[in-house]
Amino acid sequence: MSELTGKTPLLEVDNVTIRFGGVVALNGVDFTMYEGEILGLIGPNGAGKTTCFNAITGVARPSAGAIRLSGQRLVGRKRHQITRMGIARTFQNIRLFPEMTALENVLVGADARHKTSVVGALFRTYRVPVKPEERTEITATGGAARALQQLRRTGQRFFGLSRHTLEERAAREKAMGLLSLVGIEGRAGELARSLAYGEQRRLEIARALATEPKLLCLDEPAAGFNPAEKVELLNLIRKIRDTGVTVLLIEHDMRLVMGVTDRIVVLEFGKKIAEGTPAEVRDDPAVIAAYLGVPTDAA
Ligand SMILES: Nc1ncnc2c1ncn2[C@@H]1O[C@H](COP(=O)(O)OP(=O)(O)OP(=O)(O)O)[C@@H](O)[C@H]1O
């Protein structure tokens, strides 16, 4: 652990337990993430990885333990509060607004972060009535998507604005920058549903980054990727870290995990069974046993 001395803790998961009825999905799990690192969270199916993400992002509430971001308590806060504090995530199953363009998807991501709503500003520009509760929550069937469709129905186009406010223009430039970072800026005006699968995954990452996270949680971002796409994703994750974002990565592809992470935490049946550098974890008998499905003492 000596190489961690002097590093600043960003996320502290402290003895967290989560139960679903009789199932203990997480059992006293603890680990710390340091600013600027890429941490892998791995383990066999059902080990508790997604539940851990859900606890960090406010989707699942621990029955015991604490989670802190830069020393600030997270448990008990609402999802949008946690987003504003600086945690963003992508999902195992892609969750985009299919009827919105790639650029609009990113703009809605940015909207979840800011007190002044850019999407709201557009609504004000066009006097399209939108209920306050429809503005910021990002869900697959969310109000923002409906409202933008409403905007289109009036015949007024998002891209055809003659008078941008400075804020709208800045948001658009930033969104284009993020699309460029993930390598799909050429697809900005395409509907999300018409993008190729790999492009949709990249768009999800751009949208998550639009919330200006300190910590980005990626849940199996390489699922369904071919080997070339995985290499590109690995480079993208490094690039994201180089912009100052700390990355928590759930991934089943061991080559990708070993190739990109600084440290790895291994879960099995809701418990942490190992933690260390990729090399340490790869050689750990408990990890080998967990993946080969044999008892530890037989490994
Ligand atoms: N909402 C829920 N209700 C009941 N049980 C749940 C719920 N969510 C997760 N579980 C259970 O908790 C355990 C951990 O699940 P989780 O999805 O966190 O594992 P995982 O490591 O992400 O698995 P995978 O790699 O298959 O995605 C599993 O036994 C799962 O069935």
Q: Are residues 178 and 219 in the same domain?
A: no
SS3 102: helix
> Token digits for 43?
């383990």
Give the end of a domain, one of 146, 169, 199: 199
Element (H, E) at 123: helix 118-126
Q: Is residue 94 part of a domain?
A: no
pLDDT of 156 higher than 90: no
Q: What is the pLDDT of residues 82-129, one digit of tens each?
A: 999 999 999 888 889 999 999 999 998 777 665 445 555 444 443 223
In short, whether 23's Cβ falls inside 6 Å of ligand 1 is yes
Closest-CA residue, ligand 1 atom 10, reads: 25
CATH, residue 45: 3.40.50.300
Return the best residue to mutate from 16, 18, 50, 54 for the ligand 1 pocket (most ligand atoms within 8 A of CB).
Answer: 50
Tell me: the pLDDT tens digits for 241-279?
999 999 999 998 888 999 999 999 999 999 999 999 999
Ligand 1 within 6 A of 51 CB? Answer: yes
113 and 193 co-located in one domain = yes
Q: How far is the CA of 116 from the centre of ligand 1 (A)?
A: 36
- 26 Cβ inside 6 Å of ligand 1: no
Residue 29 falls within a domain, yes or no? yes
Q: Is residue 97 part of a domain?
A: no
Q: What's the ipTM?
A: 0.95
Q: How far is the CA of 160 from the centre of ligand 1 (A)?
A: 45
Range of weakest confidence among 137-141, 147-151, 175-179: 137-141
User: Each residue of 18-71: pLDDT tens digit?
Assistant: 999 889 999 999 999 999 999 999 999 999 999 999 999 999 999 999 999 999
Ligand 1 touching residue 47 (CB < 6 A): yes
Count of residues in the chain: 299
Closest by CA position to 89, among listed 242, 245, 268: 245
Per-residue pLDDT at 160: 47
Cβ-contact 41, 54 below 8 angstroms: no
Query: Nearest to residue 194, comparing CAs of 289, 99, 293?
Result: 99
Do 69 and 85 contact (CB within 8 A), yes or no? yes
108 plus 182 within the same structural domain: yes
25 lines ligand 1 (CB under 6 A): yes
Same-domain status, 122 and 155: yes
Condensed to tens digits (0 to 9), the pLDDT of residues 161-174 reads: 444 567 778 888 99
Q: How far is residue 204's CA from residue 86's CA, in Å, rounded to a whole number?
A: 16
Q: Within this chain, do residues 125 and 65 fall inside the same structural domain, yes or no?
A: no
Is residue 163 in a domain?
A: yes
Is 207 a member of any domain?
no
Report DSSP state, residue 186.
G
Distance 46 CA to ligand 1 centre (A): 5
Q: How far is the CA of 50 from the centre of ligand 1 (A)?
A: 7
User: Do 75 and 155 fall within a single domain?
Assistant: no
107 shares its domain with 27: no
For a ligand 1 pocket test, name from 23, 91, 257, 264 the mutation site with the most ligand atoms within 8 angstroms of its C-beta. Answer: 23
Q: How far is the CA of 278 from the centre of ligand 1 (A)?
A: 24
Residues 75 and 106 both lie in one domain: no
Judge whether 8 and 35 are in contact, CB under 8 Å: yes
Show which of 172, 199, 226 is a domain's final residue: 199
- Say how many Å lie between the CA of residue 61 and the centre of ligand 1: 14
State the distance from the centre of ligand 1 to the C-alpha of 248, rounded, in angstroms: 18
In a domain, 92, yes or no: no
pLDDT of residue 119: 55
Quick check: 137 pLDDT over 80? no
Question: Of the residues 145, 164, 199, which one is the last residue of a structural domain?
Answer: 199
**Residue 238 belongs to a domain:** yes
Q: How many domains does the chain have?
A: 2
174 with 138, same domain: the answer is: yes
| Residue numbers of the domain that contains 272 | 2-86+213-298
* One domain, residues 81 and 222: yes
Residue with tokens 């790895």: 264
Question: Distance between CA atoms of 205 and 241, rounded to whole angstroms?
Answer: 13
Same domain, 286 and 236: yes
Residue with tokens 């991501």: 109
Is residue 181 within 8 Å of residue 239, measured between CB atoms?
yes
Residues 6 or more apart whose Cβ sits within 8 Å of residue 109: 88, 138, 206, 207, 208, 209, 210, 211
User: How many other C-beta atoms can be found within 10 angstroms of the C-beta atom of residue 210?
Assistant: 25
Which SS3 state, helix, strand or coil, does residue 249 take? strand
9 backbone φψ class: left, alpha, beta (φ>0; ψ -120 to 50): beta
DSSP string, 176-213: HHHHHHTT-GGGTTSBGGGS-HHHHHHHHHHHHHTT--
Question: Are 126 and 151 a contacting pair, CB within 8 Å?
Answer: yes
3 Cα to the center of ligand 1, angstroms:
33
Task: Based on the fold, state whether residues 151 and 288 are members of the same structural domain.
Answer: no
pLDDT value at residue 134: 34
Residue 91 is assigned to a structural domain of this protein: no
